[in-house]
Structure 1
Amino acid sequence: MSKIEKVVLAYSGGLDTSIILKWIKQEYNCEVITLTADLGQGEELDGIEEKALKTGATKAFVEDLREEFARDFIFPAFRAGAIYEGRYLLGTSIARPLIAKRMVEIAEMEGAQALAHGATGKGNDQVRFELGGMGMNPRLKHIAPWREWDLKSRTDLMKFAEANDIEIPNTRKKPWSMDANMLHVSFEGAELEDPWNAPSPESYRYCRPIEEAPDEPEIITIDFEKGDPVAINGTKYSPAALVEKLNELGGKHGIGRVDMVENRFVGMKSRGVYETPGGTIMHIAHRDLEGLCMDREVMHLRDSLIPKYAEMIYNGFWFAPERIALQAMIDETQKTVTGTVRLKLYKGNAIPEGRKSPYSLYREDLATFEEDEVYNQKDAEGFIKLVGLRLKGKTSSGSEWIKEGDVEDLD
């Protein structure tokens, strides 16, 4: 193995990645360049460049990737209706390939030979970071300290930090493993490790508890163009600004909080609490507009692929050829998903109340219960007979075959 002289580390500034920065310098005797991606997590980035340099980084990149995140990662996934195991809107999963992509770009620019991350050997993120890096540049090596070092506990980490004069972040008595970006915030660990325990009240960040949400509903409209949201209440926003505005609206009304046990890619079950207020509103509105604009068979085909597409993102295969091919098919289905949805936001719910589109496939003259001149109801009789032919071969219980010659008696 060729010597590693430079490493690009995904750096959050927390306890783990601060220790990892110092550990890599010591263990590999190399330079460490950090990347901190601003994906909308907010105040956590304050002073992070200075901290990385103080801890030993040769260079510290702190980059605003919010617009790219929304435009090129969140929006394509939401065009696909991606939702993992029927509930999780993939807030952490969809962020990892963007971070991996930028790490590779910096590695190529700075002449680094390896990428490093702070994900544990139990989780999904180790797979996402490394598969993302492989998909962009397979020649780069990967360093995963949690799979290499002999630090086995938080106590070990604290001792290492003290011995190496590493600033220990203030956890503010919040014991969870938390990941935040503009799409969501997740909580794992602490009392959540017992799936019977309710999350503590302090675990709320983006969403108000339902009990504290306004007692009056709020009506909003969202405009879509080719499957992407572009405006709220008639005001246009950039992709990132739109997600952040929907977060504000959804969080106010307690929308988008999910408490679930899921299946990790590595094989174990884990329990997490996710808050995705803006994404939940966007998902509901998008699905509602598709009901108006998408052909039935196209929609049903796309829907059959949602579990597979979501699994690709969850498992780290964003840059895989099958995801890219599937995205092309999905984007073709979205060419007519243009229009406006009106929603009521109230007590944890986003309820569609109206929808319109220049590409609407809905015909009032066909669907009406009143008298019409375009549909002969008697035609349904032949349709039912044809689609029911295969059912005529058995009795109602399905236990016996009807004898030949008896079928005529069923007409």
Structure 2
Amino acid sequence: MGKRKIVLAYSGGLDTSIILAWLKEHYEAEVIAFTADIGQKDELDGLEEKALRTGASKVYIDDLRDEFARDFIFPMFQAGALYEGQYLLGTSIARPLIAKRMVEIARAEGATAIAHGATGKGNDQVRFELGAAALAPELEVIAPWRLEEFRAQFPGRAEMITYAEEHGIQVKATAQKPYSTDRNLLHISFESGILEDPWFDASAEENKDMFVLSAAPEDAPDVPEYLELEFEKGMCIVLNGERMSPLQVMEALNQLGGKHGIGRVDMVENRFVGMKSRGVYETPGGAILFAAHRWMESLTMDREVMAIRDSLIPRYSSIVYNGFWFAPERLALQALVTESQKNVTGTVRVKLYKGNVTVAGIKSPVSLYNPNIATMEADPSQAYNQSDAEGFIRLNALRLKVAAGVDKRV
């Protein structure tokens, strides 16, 4: 029999570079490095060569951007997902796709295990492993940061950097890194290091260089820019008159939103593993798409359907955040979401200005808004009789009056 095979989710950073070499040495295994291209841009430059030099027997760098936008980002936005009222789930939604492709490679290569570089304190370990459990429960998952022998050898970054130097592993790292980042098509996140102090002002003038995807709102153009987004069944298919794929929509909106300082979020969130953490996010295209989609729904979605869907947003968002993308409850909710979107069709005009996205017009061939009924002037359709409101109010007031009478007797 040949050597044991392990597929490693590899980014080329300090942690996964060290882990690649450590897995090969510790398990005497053949390590296959896998990197998902989900929009990291120049972070992928030279990655294959580096992985091979570090000891990988084979390297996969798969362009998954189309699938990411079409099958993960857009369905999530149809659901109106927003974790804890602020976070557009940029990191969370990428993990199930990475897990899915990693499992496919493991099976194709005859690997018996997959490995990742997520720490034992974070959410990503849960997301990767729940995804793998749903798709390939037979595969072993190796998480070095949770292994005592790994932590004993690498108690801190200094030891990892020393190991890299001794083994000829080139890493762009120093003993003191101000923060960590994660980038994809939907967003870039910043956490740890200097951001662990929630009093630290990431938006201050002296910290402008931290941001990658967006201009500071105060430095954005002084003239607003207008966009038109056309939706079909809750999916944006046309931008400014040009038909686009989900990937093209995201790339174009990222550029336009970034120019106007759209989509910055600084928050303290609740991790699934129990602790609070502070994260700073840039989601320029996603912020525009989220707002436009919501406005399109306001014109075309039935009130009670919207109420049911909206009541499920916290649940759906937690499902994505916590790593249950492939779980039956998410699939069931997605079916409801898909049904709710069947008439979310039309055009939204938005204005981008100094970090803000403002609605500037909505129209739809299936609009539920009837100006003849909504008008404050005489109703030519006679569809609404104002006198009917008296009985409507009386019936809705009945329980309040009964309760008021009880309160007086107590």
TM-score, normalised with respect to structure 2: 0.95
Give the SS at the match of 2:61: strand
Tell me by how many angstroms 1:174 deviates.
5.8
* Equivalent position to 2:200, from 191, 194, 197: 197
**Is 1:297 matched with 2:304?**
yes
What displacement does 1:359 show? 1.2
Equivalent of residue 278 in structure 2, options 251, 271, 282: 271
DSSP 3-state at the match of 1:322: helix
Q: Is the 8 A contact 1:260 1:272 kept in 2?
A: yes
In 1, the alpha carbon distance for the partners of 2:19 and 2:339 equals: 44
> Could you tell me how far 1:115 is from its partner in structure 2?
0.7
**TM-fit CA distance, 1:172:** 12
One-letter code of the match for 1:389?
L
1:406 maps to which residue?
A: none
* 8 Å Cα contact 1:259-1:271 kept in structure 2: yes
SS at match of 1:400: helix
The one-letter code sitting in structure 1 at the alignment partner of 2:90 is G
Amino acid at match of 1:379: D
Corresponding residue of 2:361:
354
CA distance in 2, matches of 1:334, 1:227: 5
Gaps of 5+ in 2: none
Alignment partner of 1:48 is 2:57: no
Look up the match of 1:405: none
Structure 2: distance between partners of 1:401 and 1:334: 49
The equivalent of 1:216 in structure 2 is 223
- Asked if residue 228 in structure 1 is aligned to residue 235 in structure 2, the reply is yes
Q: Which among 327, 343, 348 is matched to residue 320 of structure 1?
A: 327
Which residue does 1:25 correspond to in 2? Answer: 24
* Counterparts of 2:385 and 2:342, CA distance in 1: 32
Is 1:394–1:401's contact at 8 Å kept on the other side of the alignment?
no
What do residues 322-379 of structure 1 show as CA deviations (whole Å, max 9, x unaligned)? 1011101110000100110000100100101111111110111100011114221111
In 2, distance between residues paired with 1:45 and 1:395? 67
Partner of 2:386: 377
Point out the more displaced range, 160-169 or 238-247: 160-169
Aligned residue pair count = 400
- Is residue 244 from structure 1 mapped to residue 251 from structure 2 by the alignment? yes
Identity %: 62
* Residues 4 and 111, structure 2, Cα contact 8 Å, conserved in 1: yes
**Paired residue secondary structure (2:200):** coil
CA positional deviation for 1:400: 1.5
Q: Structure 1 length as normaliser, TM-score?
A: 0.95
Change (3 A) 1:401 1:363: farther
The answer as to 2:158 corresponding to 1:155 is yes
Q: CA deviation at 1:401?
A: 4.3
* Aligned-residue CA RMSD (Å): 1.7
- Asked whether the equivalents of residues 210 and 347 of structure 1 are also in contact (C-alpha less than 8 Å), the reply is yes
Long gaps (5+) in structure 1: 403-411
Spell out, residue by residue over 1:28-68, the C-alpha distance to the aligned partner (whole angstroms, 9 max, x if none). 11000011111111000011011111111010001110000
1:168 counterpart SS class? coil
One-letter code aligned to 1:395: A
Kindly indicate whether the alpha-carbon contact (under 8 Å) linking 1:128 and 1:315 is maintained by their aligned counterparts in 2. yes
- CA distances 1:150-203 after superposition (whole Å, capped 9, x unpaired): 211110111111221211225798631100001000000122100011112221
- Cross-structure match for 2:316: 309
For 1:394, what is the secondary structure of its paired residue?
A: helix
CA-to-partner distance for each residue in 1:218-251, whole Å, 9 max, x for gaps? Answer: 0110001110111111111111111010000100
**How far off is 1:395 after superposition?**
3.2
